[in-house]
Amino acid sequence: LAMDACSPVLLVVGALLLLLLGASAPTASAARAFFVFGDSLVDNGNNNYLMTTARADAPPYGIDFPTHMPTGRFSNGLNIPDIISEYLGAEPALPYLSPYMRGENLLVGANFASAGVGILNDTGVQFVNIIRIAQQLQNFQDYQRRLAAYIGEDAARERVSQSLVLITLGGNDFVNNYYLVPFSARSQQFEIHDYVPFIISEYKKVLQRLYELGARRVIVTGTGMIGCVPAELALHSLDGSCAPDLTRAADLFNPQLERMLTELNGEVGHDDVFIAANTNRVSFDFMFNPQQYGFATAKIACCGQGPYNGIGLCTPASNVCANRDVYAYWDAFHPTERANRIIVANFMHGTTDHISPMNLSTILAMDNTRN
């Protein structure tokens, strides 16, 4: 265009565009920041950037995602963090390893989770290159430096302190460590009733470090019914009953986790920093009352092969159910999007049986009045 094309009309349009851009600029930062740590239940694509076998980057993963493409989420569609982000009125936080994790996207938060990890450093060694929890915490520290460079140190500190944090760990310490093989190293070292307090004490150190790094609202999920997932039914069940060893492990772990969180809240001087989310209770309801939730089955995975579709990986060669909404499990270990929505609804609105000391909607309302 020639220089004289800058007519008054164009200048007015330009001014309007600037006003609109100015008005829309804070949208990414309007919602509180959201940070996610943990394993495959909450990983939204970090493992796509790693040389590892623990990945969900091929169809039919993502079949019901808005793009209908695999994203690295171990789901047919959205996972638990995505649905929490909807309640926060925000876009999902990007995987920390994403090349787009910069600029305005930093304000949304970050997902540091990595499929295969556990509380212990030796959990998931068979997956080779995964982001263990100590490294996830280091990445959180590095993220904060990047955020401070973008918005200043005081604003970055405030953004983190007002954020919501979700952490999901523990299941792999049983499934992919203690019970992975008969006579595993950890099962030789510990009886199960000693192993659980050991991993709880290690988990406490992780959560203390999160607090040191500025987290002040942390939803900590217990393990679901790990003995009842399709993979364990396929390995251990002739009649559809849950694997007793893993069920006992979850029954030991979850109450001890809740007690540790109460203790930790006492130590930091606030009874609502660490929030205990009882995913075991929700998955128990699915397992034994599937029809009440509109599920045809809570035992057979939608995608897989073998008994209960619980053997091996979900791949393009697998059986895939036509209607994912009537299955509680998408693959051998992970819930469907619809099951994830029910889990998050219980976090949001459930009683103290589901989440304590208060549910997420109460927390969000309380924090809104404070800010």
- pLDDT tens-digit series, residues 157-205: 999 999 999 999 999 999 999 999 999 999 999 999 999 999 999 999 9
Q: Which domain holds residue 176?
A: 28-370
Compute the distance between CA of residue 176 and CA of residue 150 in angstroms, rounded to an integer. 39
Residue 10 in any domain: the answer is: no
Beta strands in the chain (DSSP E): 34-38, 109-111, 164-168, 218-221, 274-277, 303-304, 319-320, 355-356
Per annotation, catalytic residue among 82, 173, 285, 331: 331
Total domains, the chain: 1
Residue 199 in any domain: the answer is: yes
Q: What is the pLDDT of residue 231?
A: 96
Distances (CA, A) of 45 to 48, 81, 85: 5, 12, 16
Residue 9 in any domain: the answer is: no
Residue 145 in any domain: the answer is: yes
Residue 191 in any domain: the answer is: yes
Residue 242 in any domain: the answer is: yes
Per annotation, catalytic residue among 82, 163, 334, 354: 334
What percentage of the chain carries pLDDT values higher than 90?
Answer: 84
pTM: 0.91
331 is catalytic: yes
Torsion angle, CA of 89/71/203/242, rounded to 10 degrees? 110
Q: Is the pLDDT of residue 139 over 50?
A: yes
40 is catalytic: yes
Residues 211 and 220 sit within 8 Å (Cβ to Cβ): no
Instruction: Output the domain CATH number for residue 147.
Output: 3.40.50.1110
pLDDT mean over 362-371: 85
Compute the distance between CA of residue 336 and CA of residue 362 in angstroms, rounded to an integer. 26
pLDDT-derived band at 18, boundaries 50, 70, 90: very low
CA angle (250 as vertex; 346, 212 as ends), nearest 5: 70
Q: Is the pLDDT of residue 72 over 60?
A: yes
pLDDT mean over 85-104: 96
Amino acid at 293: Y
| pLDDT tens track for 261-310 | 999 999 999 999 999 999 888 888 888 899 999 999 999 999 999 999 99
Residue 262 in any domain: the answer is: yes
Per annotation, catalytic residue among 39, 40, 173, 285: 40
